[in-house]
């Protein structure tokens, strides 16, 4: 299907600068000639993928980590927190560790090897101090990794409704033990009477994409619904004709979450 016939639903991180959305809108309409587009933040797409409307979404992606609180489908913007500690940072850190062992990584293909090592062997420990003690006294956590060049490498130690629906989303939440560790730390911060439940779907690595697919396929997505009132005049898509009329600034329009 040519780009000129595709409607696009790109995702962005919360608090993404308005100028970024405007530039992306300009590129999609003026360079790729797409007939319509819509911009949604990653967290709300993860919410759609989970089938929930009230939740706290913890999205740890490759570029940035963020948390967003949703209540009855609406993002509580002032609660949004972003952290520039992401999957890419963890990949770079692992690379530096291996370079200390005289391994050399010169190409982007080799970068993917590091990412593969991270995704296969990194994990989240429930008790960090105890884990340090365990790994310093033996090799019980050592794993053997064989990259494409077949040179084996040993990898060693190196509120109620909302808190009951804490969603883990994106690739950097795939580490073994992350749900238990996050639950433990949130439990310490929450009132003792509050039940903490982590939602860690097996496919959460792709939850933003899945949520975007669900959102774009909904018939109601073509309309803006406010309570029981549906206005067919307020379509969620930004049409190319509207872009031609308003220019790139339409990318920062309130239609886009």
Residue-wise pLDDT tens digits, 237-252: 666 777 677 776 665 5
Residue 138, both tokens: 């033996």
Q: Spell out the domains of the chain, with CATH numbers in brackets.
A: 55-204 (3.30.420.40)
CA distance 44 to 26: 23
The low-confidence residues of the chain, meaning pLDDT below 50, are 1-3, 156-158, 224-234, 254-257
Q: Where do the H-state alpha helices sit in 122-250?
A: 128-136, 160-163, 178-189, 207-217, 240-246
HEC sequence for 211-244: HHHHHHHCHHHHCEEECCEEECCCCCCEEHHHHH
Kindly report, residue by residue over 167-195, the tens digit of the pLDDT.
998 888 888 888 999 889 888 887 777 78
């Amino acid at each position: 299907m040519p780009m000129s016939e595709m409607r696009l639903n790109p995702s962005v991180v919360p608090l993404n600068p308005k100028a970024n959305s405007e530039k992306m809108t300009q590129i999609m309409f003026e360079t790729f000639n797409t007939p319509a587009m819509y911009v949604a933040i990653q967290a709300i797409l993860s919410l759609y993928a989970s089938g929930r409307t009230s939740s706290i979404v913890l999205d740890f992606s490759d570029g940035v980590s963020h948390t967003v609180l949703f209540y009855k489908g609406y993002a509580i913007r002032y609660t949004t927190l972003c952290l520039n500690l992401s999957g890419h940072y963890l990949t770079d850190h692992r690379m530096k560790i291996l370079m200390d062992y005289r391994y050399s990584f010169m190409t982007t293909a080799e970068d993917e090897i590091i990412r593969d090592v991270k995704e296969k062997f990194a994990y989240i420990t429930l008790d960090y101090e105890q884990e340090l003690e365990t790994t310093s006294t033996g090799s019980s956590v050592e794993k053997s990794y064989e990259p494409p060049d077949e040179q084996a490498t040993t990898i060693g130690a190196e509120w109620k409704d909302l808190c009951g629906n804490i969603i883990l989303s994106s690739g950097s939440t795939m580490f073994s033990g992350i749900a238990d560790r996050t639950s433990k730390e949130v439990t310490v911060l929450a009132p003792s009477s509050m039940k903490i439940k982590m939602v860690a779907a097996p496919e959460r690595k792709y939850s933003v994409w899945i949520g975007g697919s669900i959102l774009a396929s909904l018939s109601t997505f073509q309309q803006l619904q406010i309570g029981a009132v549906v206005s067919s005049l307020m379509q969620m898509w930004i049409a190319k004709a509207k872009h031609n009329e308003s220019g790139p600034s339409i990318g920062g329009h309130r239609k886009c979450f």
